[in-house]
A and B are shown apart, each in its own frame.
Chain A
């Protein structure tokens, strides 16, 4: 992406709106994190309890979001699906951050042959549309949560590595890095104490935005039946299953789709707001 360099003057109202957005999106995310940690507190039923004579029902007092084709409570499945989605999202972003930051810093700090080969590898990896590569690898490797974490995490390493690389390049010649070098600090200390803290803002922003992307990718794969293996509840699987019985019970699609969209929206808004807050220079579009 091309960064737009001319900063716009930000009025007080607009700053307030931004702050509200950060708080609002942050609360939505925190709420879902709590749901993911303690699903038992929120789910009125067991996510796998099958009630055969109450299949494909609309919302009712017993089943707030209705029931699926086997007679399972959709709300409870969404609640437990939160845990899966968040586990995959946070796990894969952890893989991305660990891999991307180490590659990016090594390439940007030590330069030379390492930089050339790592960055050319990144170029090649970026030639694959991530979704297609994910479908291919997960499709052949078979479904499984750990596999999803690793595949999604690996897929986004090139993007993170490129970002960290350019961030490292932009500060490695600055005076305070030079000063550290002049007093004889070893490379390891310069990297961990000087470089990393100073490039943390864009990394945090990128990681937040990637959480939303990872949830999207996981649910997209599960929607195709390639991701989380049933009967484990996952949002993508809920939507994919509900789609088959959509004519009988549209609620089976509408509720999981709504929740998924709200969560992704929250991560995107939070990431954008965080970018404005942490690093105004990186501000692209509102």
Chain B
């Protein structure tokens, strides 16, 4: 197990390296020039100015040198400065990343806490109306785009019923109550889709597990049905659910971009859109790399958790 973890860590480091190279390369291939952003169109006509800016950004060197320098700095957590404000990109990310993680963590928790009981209920009432309703809601939740869920929640709970504020962010340290109120809708938006996936997965693995020999054995021992369901069946049914949650966490990370946009939430996603609208290459590539690194870490942790929970997997 220890060797397996070490090997997976090494793979993760290589992946981070590759992701860094690829991000830089993608931005290099896309049209547009950071010099114009930095100097403005008029000053960018002057070859001297252009040369000076290129040199200061290291853009006068060949692309493979640029990539090497960028990846080397990436490992030292130096992502350069933003073009728009000349702030270190790492500082911007440090300020905004937690805000995105609140939504992601909240959405994932909501999805798991609602989805697992729903899935179990559905599986215990297989092919009855309760199962039918739950499965339909799950199918709907999987297919409804996240921005539709968000917009409709704003329309219903924000605009019509006025229960929640529809946009903006207040820091927890300033006003915990307001922070939570403002967090509710974004979390519900992300949580709905997550809930749907978890419900569907829990239902199908529960149905699977309830037919297993060890469940029959537990029943024939005369255990109470609730004990059979929760102690024997659910525990085993949750193993694939854990791995699903890991995969979906990564998806949530991507979806926060839209959710933050809808709710005017100043997180990493909003920063990415801001960077794109300002053509701030440094900030955009920094954010994308950080999101991908988080993605890699989540996948790593998921695989490790899966291996821990399911001892049948061998680490060769």
Chain A residues engaging chain B, CB cutoff 8 angstroms? 1-2, 4, 6, 8, 14, 123-125, 127-133, 135-137, 139-142, 212, 216, 219-220, 223-224, 226, 236, 239-240, 243, 246-247, 250, 253-254, 257, 260-261, 264-265, 268-269, 284-286
Q: Which residue on A lies nearest to B144, using beta carbons? A: A261
Question: For the complex, is B31 an interface residue (Cβ under 8 Å from A)?
Answer: yes
Q: Which of B144, B160, B201, B253 contacts A129 (CB 8 A)?
A: B253
The stretch among B50-58, B105-113, B288-296 that forms the contact with chain A is B288-296
CB distance from B115 to the nearest CB of A (A): 13
| A128 and B148 contacting across the interface, CB-CB below 8 Å | no
| A253 and B291 contacting across the interface, CB-CB below 8 Å | no
Q: Which residue on B lies nearest to A17, using beta carbons? A: B127
CB distance from A143 to the nearest CB of B (A): 12
| A239 and B147 contacting across the interface, CB-CB below 8 Å | yes
CA distance A253 to B211 in the complex (A): 45
**Given A4-B205, A129-B292, A285-B201, list of 11 further CB < 8 A pairs?**
A4-B240, A124-B15, A127-B295, A130-B254, A136-B27, A136-B276, A216-B145, A219-B145, A243-B154, A246-B154, A265-B144
Q: Chain B residues near A137: list those with CB within 8 A.
A: 26, 30
| A6 and B148 contacting across the interface, CB-CB below 8 Å | no
Q: Which of A131, A243, A246, A284 contacts B255 (CB 8 A)?
A: A131
Q: Chain A residues near B291: list those with CB within 8 A.
A: 128-129, 132
Among B151-199, those with CB < 8 Å from A are 151-152, 154-155, 159-160
CA distance A124 to B243 in the complex (A): 20
Listed by A's residue number, 10 A-B pairs whose Cβ atoms lie within 8 Å are A124-B18, A124-B19, A137-B30, A139-B277, A139-B284, A239-B151, A243-B262, A250-B159, A250-B160, A285-B200
Mark interface residues in B115-142 (1 if CB within 8 Å of A CB, else 0): 0000000000001000000010001101
Q: Which of A14, A124, A140, A260 contacts B148 (CB 8 A)?
A: A260
Q: Chain B residues near A223: list those with CB within 8 A.
A: 147, 258
| A220 and B147 contacting across the interface, CB-CB below 8 Å | yes
| A4 and B208 contacting across the interface, CB-CB below 8 Å | yes
CA distance A285 to B208 in the complex (A): 10
Given A4-B240, A246-B155, also A136-B251 (CB < 8 A): no
Question: For the complex, is B39 an interface residue (Cβ under 8 Å from A)?
Answer: no
Q: Chain A residues near B207: list those with CB within 8 A.
A: 8
Q: Which residue on A lies nearest to B156, using beta carbons? A: A250
Q: Chain B residues near A133: list those with CB within 8 A.
A: 26, 288
CB distance from B80 to the nearest CB of A (A): 16
| A268 and B254 contacting across the interface, CB-CB below 8 Å | no
Question: For the complex, is B70 an interface residue (Cβ under 8 Å from A)?
Answer: no
Chain B residues engaging chain A, CB cutoff 8 angstroms? 15, 18-19, 22, 26-27, 30-32, 127, 135, 139-140, 142-148, 151-152, 154-155, 159-160, 200-201, 203-205, 207-208, 211, 240, 243-244, 247, 250-251, 253-255, 257-258, 261-262, 272-273, 276-277, 279, 281, 284, 288, 291-292, 295-296, 299
Q: Chain B residues near A6: list those with CB within 8 A.
A: 208, 211
CA distance A123 to B251 in the complex (A): 16
Given A128-B295, A220-B258, also A261-B148 (CB < 8 A): yes
CA distance A163 to B160 in the complex (A): 46
CA distance A164 to B195 in the complex (A): 30
CA distance A141 to B127 in the complex (A): 49
Number of A-B contacts (CB under 8 A): 147
Q: Chain B residues near A257: list those with CB within 8 A.
A: 148, 151-152
CB distance from B158 to the nearest CB of A (A): 9
CB distance from B74 to the nearest CB of A (A): 14
Q: Chain A residues near B148: list those with CB within 8 A.
A: 239, 257, 260-261
Q: Chain A residues near B281: list those with CB within 8 A.
A: 140
| B273 and A269 contacting across the interface, CB-CB below 8 Å | no
CB distance from B165 to the nearest CB of A (A): 14
CB distance from B180 to the nearest CB of A (A): 24
Q: Which of A132, A135, A260 contacts B145 (CB 8 A)?
A: A260
Q: Which residue on B lies nearest to A267, using beta carbons? A: B143
| B19 and A129 contacting across the interface, CB-CB below 8 Å | no
Q: Chain B residues near A125: list those with CB within 8 A.
A: 22
CA distance A137 to B30 in the complex (A): 7
Q: Chain A residues near B18: list those with CB within 8 A.
A: 124, 127
Q: Chain A residues near B30: list those with CB within 8 A.
A: 137, 140-141
| A129 and B143 contacting across the interface, CB-CB below 8 Å | no
Q: Chain B residues near A1: list those with CB within 8 A.
A: 244, 247
CA distance A212 to B292 in the complex (A): 24
Q: Which of B19, B139, B200, B240 contacts A127 (CB 8 A)?
A: B19
Q: Which of B151, B284, B292 contacts A140 (CB 8 A)?
A: B284
Q: Chain A residues near B254: list those with CB within 8 A.
A: 129-132
Q: Chain B residues near A123: list those with CB within 8 A.
A: 15
Q: Which of A140, A224, A269 contacts B27 (CB 8 A)?
A: A140
| A136 and B155 contacting across the interface, CB-CB below 8 Å | no
